[in-house]
Amino acid sequence: MNAPLPDPMLPRVFRVEKVRRELSDTFTLEVVAVDGGDFAFLPGQFNLLYVFGVGAIPISISGDPADRSRIVHTTRAVGAVSRALNGLTVGDELGVTGPFGSMWPVEAAYGRDLVFVAGGVGLAPLRPAINFAMANRDRYGRVLVLYGARTPEDILFKKDLARWRGRFDMDVLVTVDRATGNWSGSVGVVTNLVLKGGFDPQQATAFVCGPEVMMRYGAQALEKRGIGRKHIWVSVERNMKCGCGLCGHCQWGPYFVCKDGPVFRYDRVAEMFSVAEL
Amino acid sequence: MAGTGDLSGTIGAQPFFDGIDAELRDLLAGCAAPMDFADGDALIRTGVIARAFYLIRAGEVEVMVEPPAGPPIVLETLGPGDVVGWSWLVPPHRGAFTARARGEVEALAFDGACLLGKMEAHPALGFEMLRRFVPVMAHRLSAARLQLLDLYGPDVPRPEMLEAEPEEPPPAPAAAGVRAEAEAAKASLAIVKNRAEDEP
């Protein structure tokens, strides 16, 4: 007789193993399952994190998909639940359901150039895809990470960016909107990097993640460089509750972001990006 | 020093002049000269007559505002293939911002007065120059607007901030209360429906 399948809506209890303060309002939690089991996910997917007694919110997974021993989440403290998450310390427990949603099509992009365009905390949902690309580097053409942040102090995952930049088989370009201190890097919006980036637009697949306005202009810049809409993918955020398209909180036009997204092919959603208050 | 023939070829190799007619390229070459800048040299100064525009061939240029008190504020960095300056084209031809070399910079400098004269005499060149400059200006304007938006800042509303704020959870209504609310909602829907049907 088969054992009953676990209820996907029942949170698994995880314990905080590591907390990293990334930026003034951004933090990373590394959590491991209290039951000792593995956790598998695909790049681009998200979990619902429950702070017991406070509530639950969807957070993208920012860790390495090859590492099933832990889940890594990076987010900003902007609301009641994320502020409560920010208050967790090593040893605290939280509930996790997931993984939910669609993935960055990293395998479908084998043989092509990969262009990652990230803005602000949008680098977090792209990180698993970048890790995947690095682990399968010989399967891709050129790999570029184009990242924009508000100021040099707001650059997320500085160590990762430095490590990726140190490789001889990928390019990392970083720009900031406002230079501060001794910043000697590029100043300007991330779309400028897209227009300069060294990739073959006919052979490139682009993954874009950041604030929605940035994604709109980022995708337009990629199109201007010659990448077809079918090869541009974006990750959309909406207020999600159930994670499986039942509650309707995350409806976005004809889609439920939680189950049809969060990763969408740009040609399917491009028009919705310019609809006000959708 | 490079002859105009060499310069014409160099100009043709610049992405900014991609596909330009050879005759127009030769006209441009008559107004162009290679120019090198050392770290910190100003290509354009705020308020000073801008006599040229530059095409960066190597190195980086910072476009900045220099406030009377405090350090300069860098607005944008430009690199190889980028154009620096359009004040030569727009009266009163004074630099709107300062552009300085960040490290050593190799550029092609184009004399503004010379070019304006040729553009008057050769409308095809005038059209060609505007056709190439206007998209650059439009892109820079669009980029500047995006920067103004402070996209990644804490004050820009974004969906992740729609996270529910259950400061005080509402008390759970009794089952009878829920039923009463549902009945009331049904009744108000019926009123709306009847009104809609009454309208012509």
In tens, the pLDDT along B117-161 reads 999 999 999 999 999 999 989 988 888 888 888 778 655 444 444
DSSP track, A142-178: -EEEEEEESSGGG-S-HHHHHHHHHSTT-EEEEEESS
Task: Look up tokens 């441009």; give the residue.
Answer: B28
Q: Is residue B190 part of a domain?
A: no
Nearest CA in chain B to A149: B152
For residue B145, the chain A residue with the least C-alpha distance is A189
User: What CATH number should be reported for the domain holding residue B140?
Assistant: 2.60.120.10
Q: Considering its fold, how many domains does chain B have in total?
A: 1
What are the tens digits of pLDDT across the range A221-256?
999 999 999 999 999 988 888 888 888 888 888 899
Query: In percent, how much of chain A has pLDDT > 90?
Result: 71
Asked if residue B110 belongs to a domain, the reply is yes
Contact A150 B143 (CB under 8 A): no
Q: Whole domain around residue B48: which residue ranges?
A: 4-149
- Whether B147 sits inside 8 A of A177 (CB atoms) is yes
Nearest CA in chain A to B61: A186
Size of interface A-B (CB pairs under 8 A): 97
Nearest residue on chain B to A252, alpha-carbon basis: B159
Task: Please give the pLDDT value at position A249.
Answer: 85
Side by side, which strands form the sheet with A204-209? A186-187, A171-176, A143-149, A113-119, A204-209, A232-235, A263-265
Residue at B194 is within a domain: no
Listed by number, the residues of chain A in 90-119 with a beta carbon closer than 8 Å to a beta carbon of chain B are 119
- Residue B176 covered by a domain: no
CA–CA–CA angle B63, A148, B106 (5° rounding): 35
Question: What is the per-residue DSSP string for chain B?
Answer: ---HHHHHHHHHTSGGGTT--HHHHHHHHTTEEEEEE-TT-EEE-BTSB--EEEEEEEEEEEEEE--SSS--EEEEEE-TT-EE--TTTSTT-BBSSEEEEEEEEEEEEEEHHHHHHHHHH-HHHHHHHHHHHHHHHHHHHHHHHHHHHTTTSTTS--GGGG----SSPPPPPPHHHHHHHHHHHHHHHHHHHHHHHH--
Over residues A29-38, mean pLDDT: 92
Q: Work out the number of other CB atoms within 10 angstroms of the CB of residue A199.
A: 24
Put simply, the answer to whether A81 touches B74 (Cβ < 8 Å) is: no
Distance of alpha carbon A275 from alpha carbon A270, whole angstroms: 10
pLDDT band at B2 (very low <50, low <70, confident <90, very high): low
Q: Is B159 on the interface with A (CB under 8 A)?
A: yes
The confidence band for A32, taking pLDDT boundaries of 50, 70 and 90, is very high
- Which residues in chain A are contacts of B156 at CB distance < 8 A? 211, 213
Q: Is residue B168 part of a domain?
A: no
- In Å, how far is A57's CA from the nearest CA of chain B? 7
With contact defined as beta carbons under 8 Å apart, do A79 and A54 qualify?
Answer: no
- Domains, chain A: 12-100 (2.40.30.10), 113-274 (3.40.50.80)
Residue B65 inside a domain? The answer is yes
Contact of B106 with chain A, judged by CB distance below 8 Å, is answered with no
Q: Give the tens place of pLDDT for each residue, B150-196.
A: 778 655 444 444 454 444 444 444 444 444 544 554 454 444 444 44
**Mean of pLDDT values over B78-105:** 93
Model confidence over B43-61: pLDDT tens digits?
999 999 999 999 999 999 9
Q: Is residue B187 part of a domain?
A: no
- What's the confidence (pLDDT) of residue B185? 47
- Yes or no, beta carbons of A179 and B154 under 8 Å apart: no
Look at A179 and B74 and tell me if their CB atoms are within 8 Å: yes
pLDDT at B174: 45
Would you call A154 and B156 a contact, using CB atoms and an 8 Å cutoff? Answer: no
pLDDT (0 to 100) of residue B66: 85
* Euclidean distance between CA atoms A263 and A8, whole angstroms: 21
Residue B192, pLDDT score: 42
